[in-house]
Structure 1
C-alpha cells in the first residue's frame, strides 16, 4: 500500500491559516492564474505543493530501492524490491511509473514557483528564500531522475497545456547535469545560511553546496574532483555543521532527535498522526506487524564484525528473534506493533558524507597526505584506530570501505558504486551482460503518451 508522505513541519512553520493541511493546498496549476500568485501566502502555498511532491518520492524509491540495488541490503520477499534487486524490473512495473510521476511532480511544482513568484509584489514575501528553495527542489528532482534514467525530458517552464509535457524529447545527460549545477548555484546564492530554529528540513546554503559536491562527483567529468572539493571545503568551513560525538552517533537517526549539528538536510514528519508518517520502519524491522521486506546483506554484517570496536555497528544493525535487521530506521522497541507511520526524521545529507567526499577528492587529485586526516576523523569518531593506508591506491580503498560502514543503509552506496564504475563486479545480480540495466526503464505509460521518448537499452 502506497504511504502518503507530507513535509508537515514546513507547513507548521509557515503558519498559513488560510491553507490548512498541506495536502489540502490547491495546486497552483489547478487555480485560475488571475486568482493566484498574488501574495506571500500564495508563494508559500505553491512552494509547499512542490515540497509535498518531493516528499512523496523520498522513501521507498529514494532510499529502499537503492539499498537492494547495492550490496548492503537485500530483499526479503517478492514484489518490487526483488525485481530491482534482480535487475528484472520492466516498463510496466508500478513503482517505476510512480517514481517517475512523483519526481516530475516536484519539478512542475518548482517550475510554477520559479515562473510566478518573481512577479509577486508583497512586502511580506521572502522572495529570495522561496526561489532558492524552489531551485533546490528542482535540482534534487533532476538529479534523482538522471541517476536512475540517464537521459530525461527537461521541462523548465510551467505546463501551459495538458499535452505540452508529452512532446519533450530526452535531453542528453551532460545537458541535464549542466542544468542541475546551474539550479544549485542559483539556490546557493538565494538561500539563507540557516533557517529559524536551526531547522534542517529546509535547505540552506550548506545544503546546496553539499548537494553540488555530490552532483559533481556523480557526473565525474574532467575537473569535477576539484569542483567538488571546493564545495566540500565550503560546507566544512560553516561552523553550524559539526560531527556529533561517537557516543551520540545514534542521535542522528533516533526518534525525537532532529536537526543535529551533523545534519545538512533532512525531512521531518509530524508526530502522532497515523496517516502522516513514513514506512521505513515497516520495511526494515522484523517486529510484530512489520513487513520486514528487506534485511542487511551478509557482506555488511561481516564488515561490521571485522571492524572491532566500531561504535556504528549497534546503531546500524540489530537482532530480534535471530533475525539481523537494519536498525537506522527503527522507530519503536521490538514489543511495539509497527504500523508504518514513523515520524523519525530521514537524514539525506550529513557532514560525515561530505568529510569522506573531501578525502576522496584530495586523494584523487594526488594529495593523499592531506586526505588521510579527514578519513581518520571519521574513523576516530567511530572508535577506530587511524588507517594504516599510505599509498594513493590504499587510501582510495580505505575511503570506499569507510563510506560502506559510515553510510550503511543510507541511500548513497549504489550511486557510489556506479560512479566508481564498480557496480558490475560488486553487486551479485549485475554482470557485463545486463550492465545496461543500471538505468531504469522508461515507464510504458510515458512512452505511450509521448511519441518523442525512446526506451533505454535492454528493455
Structure 2
C-alpha cells in the first residue's frame, strides 16, 4: 500500500477533524496516516461539516523544495551543511540529481495531494447531499475549488518545468485528481491541461466565494483571494495582461498596506497572522529546516540581498536579525509567531504584480507610481522619502524586480520567479560554493522540476521528471 510520512502533530489535527465530522473513524489505529486508505476520507452530512473539513488549517500548506533551491540563503559553514541538515536539504542546496537520497515519501508532494483530496471530498459531498443552492453552499464550493487550485499551483511550481505556450501541450504536468478517493490513480496530464484546471477552478471559485473579507480567519479564502491567486498564476506563466487584470480585481476588493513605521524593528514577531496585508494565510510544510528557517541562526540570508537594502529601509531590521557571527537570519514574517514562513497571498505582492505588468506594458510612470506607493510605507518617515525614478520601461522593470526580490523574501515565490524570468531570457545562473567546490544551475535546466517521490512513481506508475 501507498504510505504517508508519519507526523504526530498532523495526526492530532486530522483525528480531531474526523471525530467532529463523523463516527466512522471510531476505533481507528494510531497509524491511520501511515496507510493509504482506499476510500474517501470522511462523509460529511451537512454544509457545516464541509466547512469544518475545509477549515482545517493543516491543509493550508505549500512546499519548501523551491525555497531550498533558490538564491535567498547561503551556507557559510560547510560543517553545518554536512551535519545539521537533512539529506534532502543538502542535496537541494547543490541541485543534485538525487534529491531525496532514498527517501520514499516527500511532504511537498503528499501534503499538497492530501489537501486536494480534502477539497475533492468537500466538492463530492456537496453534489451528493443535494443541498439547496444558496450563498453558504456556494461559498463552500468556491472554498473547495480554491484550495484545490492553490495546491495544484504549488505542485506546478516545484514539480514541473516553466509554462511555455509552444511546448505546454507536450510538457509533463501533474496527475489531475478530481475524485475524493485518495487511492485514485491518474497519469500525468500535460502542462497545458494542468494549468487549465488550476485557472478554471480559480475562476469558478471567484464566482462563488463571498466578497466579504475574512478579517479574523485568513485561512478562509474569499473572492479577492481567488483573484489574487489568478494574478500569481498568470504571472508565473508570463501572461501579464491577465495577471494585471486579476491583481486589479483583487485590489478593488481589498487594498491595505502596512506602514512599517508602525511596526517594531526589535520584536521577534513583528506581524500578527491577521496583519493588514495578509489576504490568505498559508505556510510551508513543516519538516524542511531550511525552507522553514525562521529564527534559524545557521541559515544565512544571501548577503547580496542584505546589501541591496538602502539606508532607512525598515525592512532590513523588521525582516532579519543578526547571529553572533554577524550574519543575518530570518525573523518570523506575515504568519505571526508561527514557526514556519508565510507563503500565502498578500497586498504587497499584488502591488508588485501590478507594477511589473505596467512596466512590461511600457507604462513607465504608472509602474513607478505603484512601486513608490508601496515603498513609501517601507522607509523611515523621519526623513523625506525619495521616490525611485525610471526613464524607460526596462529601467522601471528592473527596479520592480529588484524590489520584488527584497519584499517577498522567504515567501516561497523566488523559485517561481527565477523560472519564469529565465524562460523569457533573464539568464539567471544560480551558483553555490561549498568547501571550495562550485555548483551551478543554468537557466531553464531540467533540475528546475524536482523529482516525483519514489513511492508515487511505484504506486501510480507515473513518468519521472528527467534530471
For Structure 1 versus Structure 2, the TM-score category normalised by the shorter chain is 0.7 to 0.9
- The Cα of 1:326 is off from its aligned counterpart by 2.6
Q: Which residue does 2:371 correspond to in 1?
A: 375
TM-score (norm 2): 0.77
Distance 1:133 1:320 in 2: 41
From 126, 134, 143, the equivalent of 1:133 is 143
- Could you report, residue by residue, the CA deviation over 1:154-174 in whole angstroms, capped at 9, with x for unpaired residues? 1122338x4x41xx2211111
Distance 1:132 1:450 in 2: 29
The answer to whether the aligner puts 1:100 opposite 2:122 as a matched pair is no
Q: Which residue does 1:254 correspond to in 2?
A: 269
- The Cα of 1:74 is off from its aligned counterpart by 2.5
The answer to whether the aligner puts 1:316 opposite 2:319 as a matched pair is yes
Q: Which residue does 2:329 correspond to in 1?
A: 326
| 1:6-85 paired onto structure 2 within 5 Å | 18-19=20-21, 36-48=43-55, 51-52=57-58, 54-55=59-60, 57-58=61-62, 61-62=63-64, 65-75=65-75, 77-78=81-82, 79=86, 80-85=88-93
- The Cα of 1:348 is off from its aligned counterpart by 1.5
Helix, strand or coil at the partner of 1:318: strand
- The Cα of 1:380 is off from its aligned counterpart by 1.5
| 1:109-258 paired onto structure 2 within 5 Å | 109-120=118-129, 126-150=136-160, 151-159=173-181, 162=183, 164-165=184-185, 168-195=186-213, 197-220=215-238, 224-238=239-253, 240-249=254-263, 254=269, 257-258=272-273
Distance 2:196 2:255 in 1: 28
Helix, strand or coil at the partner of 2:157: helix
The answer to whether the aligner puts 1:393 opposite 2:400 as a matched pair is no
Q: Which residue does 1:360 correspond to in 2?
A: 356
Q: Which residue does 2:345 correspond to in 1?
A: 349
Distance 2:99 2:288 in 1: 26
Distance 1:368 1:353 in 2: 19
Distance 1:67 1:189 in 2: 32
Q: Which residue does 1:407 correspond to in 2?
A: 408
Q: Which residue does 2:278 correspond to in 1?
A: 263
Distance 1:432 1:144 in 2: 22
Distance 1:200 1:259 in 2: 7
Say which is worse superposed, 102-111 or 380-389, in terms of deviation: 380-389
User: Are the equivalent residues in 2 in contact too, given 1:207–1:265 (CA < 8 A)?
Assistant: yes
- Could you report, residue by residue, the CA deviation over 1:228-248 in whole angstroms, capped at 9, with x for unpaired residues? 11111112222x431011213
Q: Kindly tell me: are residues 418 and 2 of structure 1, through their superposed partners in 2, closer, same or farther at Cα, counting changes over 3 Å?
A: farther
Distance 1:230 1:285 in 2: 37
- The Cα of 1:176 is off from its aligned counterpart by 0.7
User: Are the equivalent residues in 2 in contact too, given 1:43–1:130 (CA < 8 A)?
Assistant: yes
Distance 1:351 1:10 in 2: 31
Helix, strand or coil at the partner of 2:445: helix
Q: Kindly tell me: are residues 435 and 174 of structure 1, through their superposed partners in 2, closer, same or farther at Cα, counting changes over 3 Å?
A: same
User: Are the equivalent residues in 1 in contact too, given 2:259–2:377 (CA < 8 A)?
Assistant: yes
Give 5+ residue unaligned stretches, structure 1: 270-275, 287-291, 332-340
Helix, strand or coil at the partner of 1:259: coil
- Could you report, residue by residue, the CA deviation over 1:229-273 in whole angstroms, capped at 9, with x for unpaired residues? 1111112222x431011213559993672312211111499xxxx
The answer to whether the aligner puts 1:87 opposite 2:95 as a matched pair is yes
Relative to its length, the structure with more helix (as a share) is 1
- The Cα of 1:400 is off from its aligned counterpart by 0.8
TM-score (norm 1): 0.78
- Could you report, residue by residue, the CA deviation over 1:165-217 in whole angstroms, capped at 9, with x for unpaired residues? 1xx22111111111100000011111112355442221111111111101001
- The Cα of 1:277 is off from its aligned counterpart by 12
Distance 1:314 1:284 in 2: 15
Q: Kindly tell me: are residues 170 and 237 of structure 1, through their superposed partners in 2, closer, same or farther at Cα, counting changes over 3 Å?
A: same
Q: Kindly tell me: are residues 92 and 282 of structure 1, through their superposed partners in 2, closer, same or farther at Cα, counting changes over 3 Å?
A: closer
